[in-house]
Structure 1
């Protein structure tokens, strides 16, 4: 079957060769163009049509722009594998570079620069210099980007022929797209020197012409302008006045790029930070509300970064983060996270009411997340502690996963505010029992923690814990076993007569467990500690737990602000953690496949060497 498929493909290529060489087909321009189009189609489908190279070279001699595009696309694809025959196309390409039609000139120049054959570099230089001085903006744009292609093919040609200086001159071109291309090209060519040198004249020229660039080029140029250092605060305000109109753009990338300029230039101006955030929030909220879900998710992450830095700025706009029915799950989850950070004493009540509605959502993960968010607000906002009765109301829903998540949240809250245990625990244990969450290991661990930590306030605590201890052999989770051990010991020190036999049975079971080694070792440690010094055991086991505090996210937030409008905001980590560090010459941070492959192979070889060395060393078996 494979041989038959190969024969079919070979016959198709031979048929195309016959058609290309047929005089009747050559005399009919339309039919000839259709054959060329079919060759290009087979090429895009992955069929090897490189054997038609010499015939396609002859097809260059045409006035049809469509046919020229097809032929040039073919030549650029197979030029490297047919480097000797590619020389036959140079005369045609050079002739087309002098054509009266600027589209043909630009197409020919782009194709010459895209051949990627080192032996033909000398033929590209003259048409490239002529293209930089061409009267057509399209040809000049193509020539500018051709310099970058030539640079990656042979860097010495660009250096020896002063093409970088020619590109510098193009920055002052009358056509805006040529200017943007020149800036982008210089960033590539001068990457080893840190990119283009931004003088005040060049920077102001680029700021003033931003609106003339295409959307993608606006984003690229604004990333370059981040390196400019204003001389004074007045100059900063002048720049922000120019960039301000970019915040009204409909393109998300342009708005986020402008927002990053605002944050970058005012990073050291603490007195106007509130005004800057006020200016940025409206366009970002508008984008979040009107953009497609994927774009809205990205904008939400950037808004969350602003919220983490200054939650008070968006405190009055919290309703913008309420979930809509049409929002996908990932957007709703992110909106809940933003609402937690926006919540404060002035607005927590409607936020908690909104989150309560999500607890009954059919999506299990979203319902769990809503319960967790209510608990986080209760910990974060002292005035919201009174609303913890809302958490108890969740238990009346008779939903296993809601009950389990509520117990976990209640554990975290009572660890933060143990003084509220007197009022909350009696109501809590009237509504729950261990049987409600047999499949929820985290909830069972939280339930055991509550019994051990506040056993003196719960009348039936020893009996509830004893039911779990008697079933410990069926418990497969090490975390629950460890928590049962800790809770039983804590309750033993508070209510010894009721817990002594239960503790003995538990220690005997766990010390004989050789499968979960950490549980076995912990039980053995506690057993020996109790035998040697009960008072010391009480001090160790009943040690005061550190309070639960909000994590200090200031350093992470500052990093996200510095790398605003990048994937660092989405991932929540600096770019160095998830990007490959490039050599001086790179293409806008993209990964060179060849270099990446070599790097991976080198790492693989090093791992194999380490494995060989490890085989020669004695191994030690851990008990």
Structure 2
């Protein structure tokens, strides 16, 4: 528990504390706490010589404080009551001091002498209370007096004092880390891990764990003797002490298989504990050590882990939900643990909806050919319940099961058709959505159901269902006799009122039908292209319309190859988490990370970020003010409607599927296209007309400055033109920017924020401030430091080498959007070399599906030798590992590696094969990240060419 939450808990328990003094009758002190003139009466009672009257007065003060009334004006009078032998009364006075010391730091010093005196009291409860209170008072001047009493308490003869002092070290570290390290308190805490009292051991581990999380340093040093102490204390300390010890053991790396199996044997009895937190922590330890155990032990542990997990599902719904979120991760890592327990996850009628949803996810993950029939019967029942959201999720689950299990696909199709026959609107629409995915997974196998789908066209009113049905009609137009009539009758009349998702599918489907039936559908495609390019202000739709227009005008064969080309089959998304992230989350079981399914750094911020600096002069530094970040940048997120769409048309070329910038509901990066003239329109759509389909405003200027391209035109920026490019220097990432003012008014301060992106890149400071206003016609340079924030990573989105950016001119209030392109090589770290001995095992460990190859031809003459290639790439942070001649040829292979500076880092292994006397190279790149390997290959090829 954190320090602030501890203080809040103490305050919340004040009512209970008052009630415990003298019995439950003290609840009367909470009545009439708003009586007029009460403060004066309390002051007189606090100054009374009658001990009982003084005690009752302190109870009244605490009661007022608990209900939220400000009684800080009584600080001096309450502190004067601290000189008492009554332990309970002393507790209440200390509680009052903790609550008001920060607002009265000078007066709090009045109690220091009493604290120091109580820290030497004969009663261990008083000694512990004094040290604990001093640790809770977050006042620097009092912290200076805490060190000596704390040092004595850490070596006190009484274990109660020692365990209290151990926690106090963590509180002191949060206030003054340097003081804790200088006074050697960390070493004392490590010594306390070997204490004879198990409670002291648990508190020492808890304190070191919190310090480790705060500092990011490994401060818990577990040796062989310490390990035995922890395992011994595990059987004797409290349940929460066991949780802390188990968490510490989960971070320990056993030396060998024997040690790992020994620890697991000592931990497995905790799997039967009554406290669910202890059970989950024990499971975390066992799962982590299973990697080191032999197969026979792993099989035994697999059988032992299932019963405690099943038992957790018999708890109250809140604990069930937490358990299910953890089980979701466990099943992805080791599905064999619960593969025979799928019935446990079948939903009960009285389960809360959040529990049902989680059970549904786990059912899909545990579905197999053996239990497919049973799962489908259960899902079919769910699809006929009354909760609409649950029914929708159940129908989607049937589709996911079909995609996952090929043998069960036909049975899933039959179940979906039965559900369609129910004519329940939302069920029908969900079924159409999942059938579209099944068609993509198994092309040309189940198209006989299309007729049944077409019977329900009139009932479709949801965008995703409409888009799916339109895709089916366009994709299988050659099998649907009246495909063009279906589109025309049910969708095209409302084309301009449809959502962008439906409009884009209508446009593509119409072009597909035209390419398959050109003679009958020429008028139809001309009508749709006209609406897409002239009747809408959506740049994505308009740009796609112009692309199709030009394709059709240029060459029907090329258009057919592009539009009707073979599509990749969709993959099973049952195990959606990246392996590296999954391993990280498995080590975070029983924490918030396992519930959010995000690493801790994605939602816990423990450090402030640096501010930017201006080139060409000394600029004023601005503090990282959280209120400014939420207030000013938050204003950008409030933009709505057409102005947002117009402002968002930057040189990004982004797609509508990317995550919304600042939660704006969609940012269109592509600039508005100018319709221009049409050479002959579409009267002869295959005759080469219409080549002037639309240009991008300002595109001719975009690359006039290669090192710093134009990313925002003055028209987009309301008079502010921006050039920007990313670079790396000294291990840090910076964005070099040039701002030009073409507007009528100067500007000096801009607010800036990036959208979530592939690597979580974000500005180190939320604002850009220039030393002096930039006048009309003026220009200035700025270096914006960048940092990496896991919370800014666009999980689930396709990777992109663009930073969607929002900027607000603080002088005019104008908000505008643009995208900053960058090359992946700018993120390569200087320390990217892989150990030579480990290169081949690392290469073999990566699946061949993650290998990307290309032929880099026409290399510069300067790269005529392998040494020149190594030198070129080495200067760009692609480190040389080894080289070898290819036997029987005049070729030579170079092996290199690169790693990104991102969090977490991404590693790339590179093989370059050169032919003597030939200005080309074969390039192969492997990475655990299948989506980033092609980007790395393109980046390294670019380094060879430039």
Pick the TM interval, shorter chain.
0.7 to 0.9
Contact 1:274 1:313 in 2 (8 A): no
* Deviation per residue, 1:143-162 (Å, 9 max, x gap): 33333444455556545554
**What's the CA shift string for 1:389-410, capped at 9, x where partnerless?**
1101111111111111111111
Distance 2:599 2:148 in 1: 44
Contact 1:293 1:331 in 2 (8 A): yes
Q: Which residue matches 1:436?
A: 459
Following TM superposition, by how much is the alpha carbon of 1:581 offset from its aligned partner in structure 2, in angstroms? 4.5
Contact 2:400 2:572 in 1 (8 A): no
Alignment match, 2:41 = 15
Cα deviation for residue 194 of structure 1 reads 1.7
Does the C-alpha gap of structure 1 residues 514 and 124 become closer, same or farther in structure 2, counting only changes over 3 Å? closer
| Residue among 434, 438, 461 paired with 1:409 | 434
- Aligned pair count reads 594
The answer to whether the aligner puts 1:608 opposite 2:767 as a matched pair is: yes
Question: How far is the alpha carbon of 1:285 from its aligned partner?
Answer: 1.6
Change over 3 Å in CA distance of 1:316–1:87 after alignment to 2: closer
Three-state SS of the structure 1 residue aligned to 2:351 is coil
Tell me the secondary structure at the aligned position of residue 521 of structure 2.
Answer: helix
Q: Which residue of 2 aligns with 1:374?
A: 398
Q: 1:546 to 1:167 in 2, by over 3 A?
A: closer
How far residue 516 of structure 1 moved from its aligned partner, in angstroms, is 2.3
Match in the other structure for 1:420: 445
Query: In 2 relative to 1, CA 192–337 (structure 1 residues): closer, same or farther, beyond 3 Å?
Result: closer
Are 2:338 and 1:314 aligned?
yes
Of 134, 147, 167, the match for 2:189: 167
Per the TM alignment, residue 278 of structure 1 is displaced from its structure 2 partner at its CA by 2.9
2:231 to 199, 207, 231: 207
**Where does residue 593 of structure 1 map in the other structure?**
none
Q: Cα 1:311–1:147, aligned 2, differ >3 Å: closer, same or farther?
A: closer
Q: CA deviation at 1:313?
A: 3.9
Query: Out of 474, 478, 485, which is 1:463 matched to?
Result: 485
**1:77-126, Cα deviation, whole Å (9 max, x unpaired):** 33344444444434433443444433233223323444444444565444
* Match of residue 570, structure 1, among 572, 583, 595: 595
Contact 1:285-1:320 at 8 Å conserved across structures: yes
Post-superposition shift, 1:378?
A: 1.0
Is the CA contact (8 Å cut-off) linking 1:109 and 1:128 kept in structure 2? yes
- The 3-state SS of whatever aligns with 1:315 is coil
Q: Within 5 A, what are the aligned runs for 1:145-224?
A: 145-154=167-176, 158-159=180-181, 161-187=183-209, 191=215, 194-224=218-248
2:471 to 449, 465, 488: 449
The question of whether the paired residues in 2 share the 8 Å contact of 1:469 and 1:506 is answered with: no
Q: Decide which of 281, 286, 289 is 2:306's aligned counterpart.
A: 281
Please give the alpha-carbon distance, in whole angstroms, between the structure 2 residues aligned to 1:500 and 1:607: 52
Contact in 1 for aligned 2:470/2:509 (Cα 8 Å): yes
Are the counterparts in 2 of residues 378 and 413 from structure 1 also a CA contact under 8 Å? yes
| Partner residue of 1:61 out of 83, 86, 95 | 83
Q: Which has the higher strand share?
A: 2
Equivalent residues of 1:394, 1:402 under 8 A apart? yes
Q: Aligned to 1:209, what secondary structure does the other structure show?
A: helix
Q: Which residue of 2 aligns with 1:240?
A: 264
The 3 A distance-change label for structure 1 pair 469 and 48 is closer
Contact 2:515 2:556 in 1 (8 A): no
CA distance in 2, matches of 1:495, 1:121: 83
Partner of 1:522: 544
Does the CA-based 8 Å contact 1:171-1:180 persist in structure 2?
yes
Seen in structure 2, the aligned counterparts of structure 1 residues 165 and 467 have a Cα distance that, compared at 3 Å, is closer
Q: Which 10-residue stretch deviates more, 336-345 or 476-485? A: 476-485
CA contact (8 A) 1:277 1:306 kept: no
- The whole-number CA distance in structure 1 between the counterparts of 2:132 and 2:334 is 49
Distance 2:79 2:133 in 1: 13
**Does residue 1:52 correspond to 2:78, yes or no?**
no
Following superposition, the deviation at residue 449 of structure 1 comes to 1.3
SS in 2 for 1:418: coil
Cα deviation for residue 614 of structure 1 reads 12
What's the CA shift for 1:621?
11
Shift in Å at residue 39 of structure 1? 1.2
SS in 2 for 1:212: coil
2:323 aligned partner: 299
Contact 2:243 2:281 in 1 (8 A): yes
- Per the normalisation by structure 1, the TM-score is 0.87
Question: How far apart are 1:140 and its partner, in Å?
Answer: 2.4
Q: CA 1:244–1:538 in structure 2 vs 1: closer, same or farther (change >3 Å)?
A: same
Shift of 1:413: 0.6
Q: Which moved more, 1:211-220 or 1:386-395?
A: 211-220
Query: Structure 1 residues 141, 465: CA separation in 2 closer, same or farther (over 3 Å shift)?
Result: same
- Report whether the alignment pairs 1:338 with 2:362: yes
Aligned to 1:481: 503
Task: Please report how far the alpha carbon of residue 51 of structure 1 lies from its aligned counterpart in structure 2 after TM superposition.
Answer: 2.6
Q: Is 1:372–1:405's contact at 8 Å kept on the other side of the alignment?
A: yes
Q: Could you say which residue in structure 2 is the equivalent of 1:533?
A: 555
Residues 9 and 47 in structure 1, CA contact (< 8 A), matched pair in contact too: no
Is 1:251 the counterpart of 2:275? The answer is yes
CA distance in 2, matches of 1:487, 1:545: 15
Question: 1:588: which partner in 2?
Answer: none
Q: Secondary structure at the match of 1:609?
A: strand
CA contact (8 A) 2:201 2:233 kept: no
Q: Which deviates more from structure 2 when the two are superposed, residues 379-388 or residues 529-538?
A: 529-538
SS in 1 for 2:421: helix
Task: Identify the structure with the greater helix proportion.
Answer: 1
